[in-house]
Amino acid sequence: MVTLEQALEALKAGGDASRAKGAAAYHKAKRVYLGVPNPVLNALTTEWRGALSVEDRVALANGLWQTDIFEARVAAAKLLTQARLRPDEDAWAVIQSWVPQFDSWAIADHVCSAGARRLQADPSRIDTVAEWTTSEHMWTRRAALVITLPWAKLNNPTEADLAIRDRVLGWAGEYVDDRAWFIQKAIAWWVRDLSKHDAPRAKAFLAAHGERLKAFARKEAAKYL
């Protein structure tokens, strides 16, 4: 058993003040930074996953998230980043609850990595993700693209996979007039990764929408075409 207090003590022990100062300046979001390197975070969360039931892991993850400490939120996501997680309904629910609180790309991307595993485990959850695309919260809209990135990278997609791929490309097409840098970057990221596995769809997207993308996003999306 690993308590929240024990987990926080371990994170603080692995921190570095100079690294924390640099992380605060880089990420900019106002919260506590401990300066814990990723290898240490990976080692700690691997240890915790092995010591906890799924139920306790979800509880610890949510407890870490609520502290609003940068490394604690990253660790919370890492605790739930696992392909096989049964049962996973509570994990999916807590991941959804975190999305509206996103305020920086690093935390958002770690959570989306965890969420992508839950989405792959049950693709019907794509209907929930679809609701994010109309949110007023930019980070929630962005998360709809980041969490679905596995579908851009499939080499042998099924018909169901292709339907999801086309659905996400539809969302991306609706996003192209959004001038937010992180939205433009997310579109470019999705189409760039797609181009390595499904060049015809990537080219079709750019033919239809490329002129409306910002120049940097258009260039990034076409990088491998």
pLDDT in tens, 50-94: 999 999 999 999 999 999 999 999 999 999 999 899 999 999 999
pLDDT of res. 56: 97
pLDDT of res. 32: 96
- Nearest-angstrom CA–CA distance, 78 and 57: 10
pLDDT at 28 over 90: no
pLDDT at 1 over 90: no
Q: Distances in Å between the alpha carbon of 210 and those of 104, 175, 222?
A: 26, 12, 9
The CATH 1.25.40.290 portion of the chain extends over 132-225
Residues 6+ apart with CB under 8 A from 108: 102, 139, 142, 143, 146
- Nearest-angstrom CA–CA distance, 168 and 171: 5
Domain 132-225 class in CATH? mainly alpha
- Cα 17 → chain centroid: 27
CB atoms within 10 A of CB 66: 14
pLDDT at 187 over 90: yes
Smallest Cα–Cα separation from 94: which of 73, 123, 124? Answer: 73
Entry pTM = 0.96
H/E stretch holding 160: helix 159-175
3-state SS assignment for residue 14: coil
- Joined tokens for residue 193: 């990764």
